[in-house]
A and B are shown apart, each in its own frame.
Chain A
Amino acid sequence: MTDFGFKLSKSSAVELDKVDTTLFERLCEASPDARICMNCGSCGATCTAGPYSGMSLRKVLLGLQRGQDVRPLLSGCMLCGKCTMVCPRGINTRNLILNLCRIYD
């Protein structure tokens, strides 16, 4: 390919029709709360693992709905439970993370 000195970046559009959300659906069965997240990001702001693995439950939930691999984020979680205490929707985030770790394949 000729080098024009610039290149097009890969499209970051998410084609929702093609995304595989089975994992998210399975998570919702175990933790129906997953659906009521309003993406406020409070969980990410307090996250102990955030500075290390980039963990933020908001990103994990969004990622799952977009069919992305969220394992690198999730693997840093220390289950410290602060996200549960700050979640304005009262989601039991800690249990949700445990459920997710249980069903992840």
Chain B
Amino acid sequence: MIDRVASGFHPFVIPFVAGMVFVLGYCFIGIFRILLQLPAEDRKRFFISLVTPKTILKNIRDIFCDCLFHVKLWKRNRLLGYMHSSIAFGWFMLIVLGHIEVILFLPHRIRLFYYPIFFNFFVAEADSTIQGSLLFFLMDFFLLIILSGIALAMYKRIRSRIFGMRRTARPSLMNRIGLYSLWAIFPLRLLAESFTAHISGGSFLTIPANWVFRQFLGNDLNLLPTWWAYSIVLDVFMVVLPFSRYMHIPAEMMLIPLRNAGIRVRNARKGFAKVQVLSCPNCGVCIDACPMSVDKANIKDCTVYLTRQLRRKNERRIEEISDKCLLCGKCEAVCQVGVEGPALRIQLRSERKYALSPDYSCIPDPPPAESAGEGKVLYYAGCMSRLVPSVGRSVESVFRKAGIAYEWIDRDGGVCCGRPMYLAGRLEEAEAIVRKNEAQILGYGVGTLVVSCPICYKMFKEKYDLPGIRIVHYIDYMQELLDAGRLKASRSDLCYVYHDPCELGRGMGIYEEPRRLLGRIAAITESPKNRNESICCGGSLGSLTLSFAKREKMTRAALENLYDGKADAIATACPLCLATFSRYADRPVRDIAEIVDAQTVGTITKTEAI
């Protein structure tokens, strides 16, 4: 390989260089601003994580797996995974190989950063070496991989179904310019390198193409225009990048270290949230996942549109989108980037000003500790249980049979756990409810608090300060009672399909325990969408604006997923799911507590606490 252009420069590189300088400058200023926006404590945490070997390794691994190989997409749909990783990894390899070529053959040019990109233009092949032809082969190989990815991307625009996606987000103007320039980059690169292949050398793609072109375009005049075109589309792509979804490429590389540093969303517009929003490539996977999307009118309220509107600062739409969502967390569970749709929305809701704030001084403080609770178990059924009293009754009956000494704190009505208030974005008001409840619970002086509602459970676990009290969901508690032999179970002859409640499954990561407990007393089958892809029952308190009538469609769609040929009945572990499903289901819906109660007898006669 020898230098073909003595000066090492040709004007056609100018558009590329300009685009590159622009995009790098933009990103550096962006990183700087984001770091300034982070709360001081988070910033410190981030810097510390950048020098901690464990997080460094994790960052590198995550960047490779998520940004280049798109491992999560592969798991979703192989074709979709191939499409994204072929372009991302292929492009990465072209850049890396380009640098290797320059280092090997023209080491004095390595300071010119456009050399690796336009290498074939600047060299002439003097002699062919093994290294050289291997590199040329790899270059053509990865170019072919990328081109196959681009071909798939074009096909996806026409027919998204083969990628397992029923609906995709409509691209905006900037996104379309970005998309078309991205599509054009690699065919133009192939053309440019093919026209040059008789000078620079090439491999299995470029040499035959060069031979074909020379048959009817027999002179070198075509060489320059294609290199110009290649450089110009690169420039267009880089100039629209910050204003299009392709911003996700640099943003995700920032998001991964921030997330690995343990930073959380505290403000929906700045800092970490901003990086999340920029990291969304508008892939649209969250549209099909979202339970609201059964109604076409709601598609524009999915998380992909939230990130888009946040970038456009369209306040009216931001408010609509953040208020409608059920906060079921499914978009977050399927998102390959890790955009926290629900957390962003709660923060957006919390920006709202209310003229009237609640005042809970009307709730009396608990009577002085009677110490009656010592050694007992406290049961908190949650306010929803007033609508489905059978859950509380079943838990109580199980306690009695197992001989557990218990107190039922809200048998005659009590205070809400505060999570519905929290979900509505009224964070301080929720805090006030939490403090009221803490005082009430601590007043009993118990060591164990059993709850039956996953919504309460999540709130208790995450937001309550109850020193010395173990908080358990009855699922775990009943399992323990069975293990300890305090209950004897018989098997039901019904077959149940288990519905994962959002707050218990995605919310608290409890998927196996309910299945284990239910499996001891009945046969279970699985629905097509289960565990972290379970479909919200539609009753969620997360949504502020969805009307009762609109929710019906979602409930029916969720039920449709549960109607399995084998299942005689539906089992769940959330009073809200129970109430919502019972309204429309064509078969019985039961809370696991009710099933356990029906299938067990006590083995202990003396009442005591464990």
B363 touches A94 (CB 8 A): no
Distance of A67 from chain B, by nearest CB (Å): 17
A46 touches B420 (CB 8 A): no
Given contact pairs A48-B415, A78-B418, A71 touches B383 in the complex (Cβ within 8 A):
no
Contact of A80 among B357, B362, B383, B579 (CB under 8 A): B383
Within 8 A of B (CB), among A44-58: 46, 48, 50-53
**Which of the candidate stretches B205-213, B265-273, B537-545 sits at the interface with the other chain?**
B537-545
Contact of A53 among B362, B416, B544, B546 (CB under 8 A): B362
Given contact pairs A95-B545, A101-B355, A76 touches B413 in the complex (Cβ within 8 A):
no
Determine whether B150 belongs to the interface, using a CB cutoff of 8 Å to chain A. Answer: no
Give A95 to B544 CA distance when docked, in angstroms: 6
Determine whether B146 belongs to the interface, using a CB cutoff of 8 Å to chain A. Answer: no
Distance of B489 from chain A, by nearest CB (Å): 32
Which chain A residues lie closer than 8 Å to B418 at the CB level?
A: 78
Determine whether A85 belongs to the interface, using a CB cutoff of 8 Å to chain B. Answer: yes
B421 touches A78 (CB 8 A): yes
Give A70 to B115 CA distance when docked, in angstroms: 74
Within 8 A of A (CB), among B566-587: 579
Distance of B425 from chain A, by nearest CB (Å): 9
Which chain B residues lie closer than 8 Å to A103 at the CB level?
A: 355
Contact of A79 among B356, B415, B421, B549 (CB under 8 A): B421
Given contact pairs A48-B413, A79-B424, A104-B355, A98 touches B548 in the complex (Cβ within 8 A):
no
Contact of A77 among B358, B413, B414 (CB under 8 A): B358
Return the chain B residue nearest A92 by Cβ. Answer: B547
A78 touches B358 (CB 8 A): yes
Give A102 to B384 CA distance when docked, in angstroms: 25
Which chain A residues lie closer than 8 Å to B357 at the CB level?
A: 75, 101
A101 touches B354 (CB 8 A): yes
Given contact pairs A78-B420, A79-B424, A102-B354, A52 touches B362 in the complex (Cβ within 8 A):
yes
A79 touches B420 (CB 8 A): yes
B386 touches A46 (CB 8 A): yes
Contact of A74 among B356, B386, B433 (CB under 8 A): B356
Determine whether B426 belongs to the interface, using a CB cutoff of 8 Å to chain A. Answer: yes
Give A81 to B547 CA distance when docked, in angstroms: 12
Give A39 to B379 CA distance when docked, in angstroms: 34
Determine whether A28 belongs to the interface, using a CB cutoff of 8 Å to chain B. Answer: no
Query: Residue-by-residue, is B398-433 near A (CB-CB < 8 Å gives 1, otherwise 0)?
Result: 000000000000000111101011001010000001
A52 touches B539 (CB 8 A): no
Give A100 to B357 CA distance when docked, in angstroms: 11
Which chain B residues lie closer than 8 Å to A100 at the CB level?
A: 356
Give A81 to B420 CA distance when docked, in angstroms: 7
Distance of B551 from chain A, by nearest CB (Å): 10
Distance of B508 from chain A, by nearest CB (Å): 20
Given contact pairs A46-B387, A81-B541, A87 touches B548 in the complex (Cβ within 8 A):
yes
A86 touches B548 (CB 8 A): no
Give A85 to B302 CA distance when docked, in angstroms: 24
Which chain B residues lie closer than 8 Å to A77 at the CB level?
A: 358
Give A57 to B387 CA distance when docked, in angstroms: 17
Give A78 to B423 CA distance when docked, in angstroms: 11
Determine whether A59 belongs to the interface, using a CB cutoff of 8 Å to chain B. Answer: no
Return the chain A residue nearest B546 by Cβ. Answer: A92
Give A94 to B551 CA distance when docked, in angstroms: 14
B547 touches A82 (CB 8 A): no
Distance of A54 from chain B, by nearest CB (Å): 8
Determine whether B352 belongs to the interface, using a CB cutoff of 8 Å to chain A. Answer: yes
Determine whether A105 belongs to the interface, using a CB cutoff of 8 Å to chain B. Answer: yes
A92 touches B548 (CB 8 A): yes
Query: Residue-by-residue, is B449-470 near A (CB-CB < 8 Å gives 1, otherwise 0)?
Result: 0000000000000000000000
Within 8 A of B (CB), among A19-72: 46, 48, 50-53, 71
Give A51 to B354 CA distance when docked, in angstroms: 24
13 contacts between A and B (CB under 8 A): A46-B387, A48-B414, A78-B358, A78-B416, A78-B421, A79-B424, A81-B420, A82-B383, A82-B387, A86-B387, A98-B354, A100-B356, A102-B352
Which A-B residue pairs are the 4 nearest by beta carbons?
A90-B548, A78-B416, A104-B356, A80-B416
10 further A-B contacts with Cβ under 8 Å, apart from A48-B386, A78-B433, A90-B549, are A46-B387, A48-B415, A75-B358, A76-B362, A78-B360, A78-B416, A80-B384, A81-B420, A98-B354, A102-B353
Residues on B close to A: CB < 8 A?
Answer: 323, 352-360, 362-364, 383-384, 386-387, 413-416, 418, 420-421, 424, 426, 433, 539, 541, 544-549, 579
Residues on A close to B: CB < 8 A?
Answer: 46, 48, 50-53, 71, 74-82, 84-87, 90-92, 94-95, 98, 100-105
